[in-house]
Amino acid sequence: MSGARSVVVLRQFPASVLVLAAWIVFSVASSEAQLEVGFYNSTCPRAEKLIRTVVRAAIRRDPGNGPGLVRLFFHDCFVRGCDASVLLDDVPGSTGTVEKMSQANNPSLRGFGVIGRAKRVVERRCRRTVSCADILAFAARDASFVMGSGIGYYDVPAGRRDGRVSNVSEVLNNLPPSFFNASQLVASFAAKNLTADDMVTLSGAHSFGRTHCATIAFRLFPRLAADMDVSYGRFLRRRCPAATGGRRDPVVELDPVTTLLLDNQYYNNVVAGKVPFTSDATLLTRNDTAALVGLYAGNRTLWATRFADAMVKLGNLDVLTGDQGEIRKFCNRVN
């Protein structure tokens, strides 16, 4: 009797140990972020509202801050994860060593000032509580909500911690350049565990904001790229005359139709060949990506819903949590 019972106990014991061990291995090895919606409910209940107010005001002042913040979030998450490493300045005595100095970011990234302002406002209420990485994720949501058509005020899981490292050499091998073809783009997103669908969905962010002319000059001169609509190409040539570049590099809006609206117009532009980058036009060259472009072109709410989901997924990339990293006092420098 007691022998049978001890066998049962022995059988149960290793089983529970196994479950526990598996859980520990899973928790440690899993790249799944342990972020939570309402992470600051008790420690800084007004955080998300304060940030939204700052973002709204910044967009009212200069609508370019909206696309700026969305792109800043993408460029943060693809390099070392969503750890606000893109916000760090060079330390005194070094120049060009941090992510923001990469040619992919400098001078085109914008929105740094908005994050700095949001941080100061939040810091006044709740000292050293809200990470810059979370502020950036909230701000990208707020910008998408304010300038989006049909994009709701989606929940943003939070609890990210700020990284202490920013390395300029890690930017170009993680962020896809605008001359990539569809299979290169799919691979670049796959390296971040994002699907081809995620890539197509997130590319819809090119429905607002701008590009510098130097980036697209090779698609306009000496002749128009074969995948570009001719009248759109002529329009771009007028806006981006040859031999521009340098500090006076002009800019042109990414979406010529609804320039200040984050909506599914981008997909109609792709179908029409009225998009600036190879990375946009190339979405028509694969069955799967082309099918999704067509679907989104015809259904604004479907895209808007999927975009919000994909932004949350992007925000999970390689995050620091728990006691990793730190909560920066100033977003542009480590403590």
Ligand X SMILES: *[C@@H]1O[C@H](CO)[C@@H](O)[C@H](O)[C@H]1NC(C)=O
Q: Please give the residue ranges that form the binding site for ligand HEM (CB under 6 A).
A: 64, 67-68, 70-71, 74, 108, 110, 176-178, 180, 185, 199, 202-203, 205-206, 209-212, 215, 254, 277, 279
The H-or-E segment that residue 236 falls in is helix 230-239
Contacts with ligand X, 211-250, as mask; x by CB under 6 A: ----------------------------------------
* Adjacent-strand bridge partners of 252: 211
Q: Look at residue 309 and give the partner it binds from ligand X, ligand HEM, none, a contact being a CB closer than 5 to 8 Å depending on partner kind.
A: none
Question: Is the CA virtual torsion 56, 62, 66, 71 positive or negative?
Answer: negative
Q: Look at residue 305 and give the partner it binds from ligand X, ligand HEM, none, a contact being a CB closer than 5 to 8 Å depending on partner kind.
A: ligand X
Two structure tokens written together for 26: 């899973």
Closest distance between ligand X and the C-beta of residue 132, in Å? 20
Closest distance between ligand HEM and the C-beta of residue 213, in Å? 8
What is the rounded distance in angstroms from the CA atom of residue 40 to the CA atom of residue 48? 8
The H-or-E segment that residue 218 falls in is helix 213-220
- When asked if residue 34 is in the footprint of ligand X (CB under 6 A), the reply is no
Give yes or no: 75 in active site.
yes
Q: Count the residues in the chain.
A: 335
Angstrom CA distances, 72 to 19, 108, 185, 208, 249, stand at 40, 10, 19, 14, 20
Two structure tokens written together for 6: 């001890």
- When asked if residue 27 is in the footprint of ligand X (CB under 6 A), the reply is no
Nearer to ligand X, 284 or 302 (CB): 302
Q: Which of 75, 80, 210, 328 is catalytic?
A: 75
End-to-end CA distance of the chain: 63
Nearer to ligand X, 34 or 41 (CB): 41
Q: Is 85 annotated as a binding residue?
A: yes
Point out which span in 6-14, 200-208, 263-271, 299-307 binds ligand X (CB under 6 A): 299-307
Which residues, 6+ apart, have CB-to-CB distance to 99 below 8 Å? 75, 79, 80, 85, 86, 88, 105, 166, 167, 168, 170, 171
Which residues, 6+ apart, have CB-to-CB distance to 265 below 8 Å? 207, 255, 257, 258
Q: Look at residue 169 and give the partner it binds from ligand X, ligand HEM, none, a contact being a CB closer than 5 to 8 Å depending on partner kind.
A: ligand X
Two structure tokens written together for 195: 């699907």
Residues that bind ligand X (CB under 6 A): 31, 36-39, 41, 167, 169-170, 181, 183-184, 192-193, 287, 299, 301-302, 305, 317-318
Binding-site annotation: residue ranges for Ca(2+): 76, 79, 81, 83, 85, 99, 255, 258, 263
